[in-house]
Amino acid sequence: MSYQVDEKGYYGEFGGAFIPEMLYPNVEELRSQYIEIMQSESFQKKFRALLKDYVGRPTPLYFAKRFSEKYNTKVYLKREDLCHTGAHKVNNTVGQILMAQELGKKRIIAETGAGQHGVATATVCALMGLECIVYMGEIDIERQSPNVARMKMLGAKVIPAKSGSRTLKDATNEAIRDWINNPVDTHYIIGSVVGPHPYPDMVARFQSVISEEIKKQLKEVENTEDPDYVVACVGGGSNAAGIYYHYLDNPKVGIIAVEAAGKGIDTGESAATSALGKMGIIHGSKTLLMQTGDGQITEPYSISAGLDYPGVGPMHANLFTSGRGEFISITDDAAMKAGLELAKLEGIIPAIETSHALAIFENRKFKPDDVVVVNLSGRGDKDLNTYIEYFNL
């Protein structure tokens, strides 16, 4: 049995493409071509060149000496925070903009919650000179004004979603409506391993460069390609899918997924989907999601905007229910403390999303000679105001 996607677009019982009939041609166009395009020599050449010269890859695999001493185990950090734009998201948007070009698309749409995916999309649209439209909830536009300004500087048009709770899921509905109305010339860039098949698999493949690099880098320093554990925070699950990808079917490598417990799993203010979620359909995919008894999606909460998502991608839902992945949830308070600790021990200020992954060492003990690789998914610059308010800096 494999933990990769099967030919029908499922991870175990999760995944698939649950979409309105009018969207079917768009998704089918992508599904029928994505593997062939991605595997072609010309695509790989362009993708690899951009990853190297534009994104700044390979990112370092850094042995965190003082952090390791503190927790009495060997911790390596995969430095996705050093990617252009400050996080792993650009690995995917670079891949998808090339995919859009191969498919002959001239217009790019995306939805964004906190704005990070919107910025990563606007960035690659500027790079390629393609029209970029980003749907964003009206409330999120108010909350995330620096990212709105970034998108505008990069030439994107930000359209407010004014219906419903005026947040991410409403922006998603607007983007889907746009795609239905513009099937021929438009590509929809989804920002995580979510959405209808083939998106979760396509995004995982673009992010898989993370574990591809780790294998080579670890071989040089530890004389093995296989760490004992790979650890990542999970919002939708794309940075996690990237660090797990080449280890999914290797039982020697433990997989640890870290979710946001928010103010605590039992408080009603949380985003811990594995603990609280039930099977449902979100964003065109069958997966675990937080919902009320009658199937309404629950509004998630986390101090970190990037983990504030009511579901997880189908790969992760399967890792959870099959037991292949170990799922840990971390509160806002524990994450903030871990972020400050990494800054003081290693001189690296992490994104608050990433701080959740770092916080597991407080309670989850590892052996002294275990090699644990943590995906340092992003840098903390965008979160400085939250750190300032929280710690009274």
- Residues near ligand PLP (CB under 6 A) are 87, 89, 116, 192, 233-240, 306-307, 351, 353-354, 377-378
Candidate list 111, 341, 346, 353, residue with the active-site label: 111
Q: How are strands ordered across the β-sheet holding 131-137? A: 157-161, 131-137, 107-112, 186-188
Q: Residues 6 or more apart from 44 whose CB is under 8 A from it?
A: 38
- CA distances 272 to 102, 115, 202, 340, Å, are 37, 21, 25, 22
Q: Residue 92 or 102: which CB sits closer to ligand PLP?
A: 92
Sign of CA dihedral 5, 176, 97, 273: negative
Give residue number: closest CB to ligand PLP. Answer: 378
Q: Which of these, 357, 381, 118, lies nearest to 237 by C-alpha position?
A: 357
Q: Which of these, 376, 380, 381, lies nearest to 64 by C-alpha position?
A: 376
**HEC letters along 59-125:** CCEEECHHHHHHHCCEEEEECHHHCCCCECHHHHHHHHHHHHHHCCCCEEEEEECCCHHHHHHHHHH
Q: Residue 306 or 339: which CB sits closer to ligand PLP?
A: 306
Contact 290, 100 (CB under 8 A): no
Please state, in angstroms and rounded to a whole number, the distance separating the CA atoms of residues 336 and 287.
Answer: 29
Please state, in angstroms and rounded to a whole number, the distance separating the CA atoms of residues 73 and 372.
Answer: 8
Question: Smallest distance from the beta carbon of 246 to ligand PLP, in angstroms?
Answer: 17
Question: Smallest distance from the beta carbon of 353 to ligand PLP, in angstroms?
Answer: 3
Question: Smallest distance from the beta carbon of 207 to ligand PLP, in angstroms?
Answer: 8
Q: Residue 239 or 331: which CB sits closer to ligand PLP?
A: 239
Candidate list 89, 105, 169, 286, residue with the active-site label: 89
Mark whether 89 is an active-site residue: yes
Q: Residue 186 or 238: which CB sits closer to ligand PLP?
A: 238
Mark whether 355 is an active-site residue: no
Question: Smallest distance from the beta carbon of 220 to ligand PLP, in angstroms?
Answer: 26
Q: Residue 236 or 277: which CB sits closer to ligand PLP?
A: 236
Question: Smallest distance from the beta carbon of 139 to ligand PLP, in angstroms?
Answer: 18
The three-state secondary structure class of 250 is coil
Active-site amino acid positions: 89, 111, 377
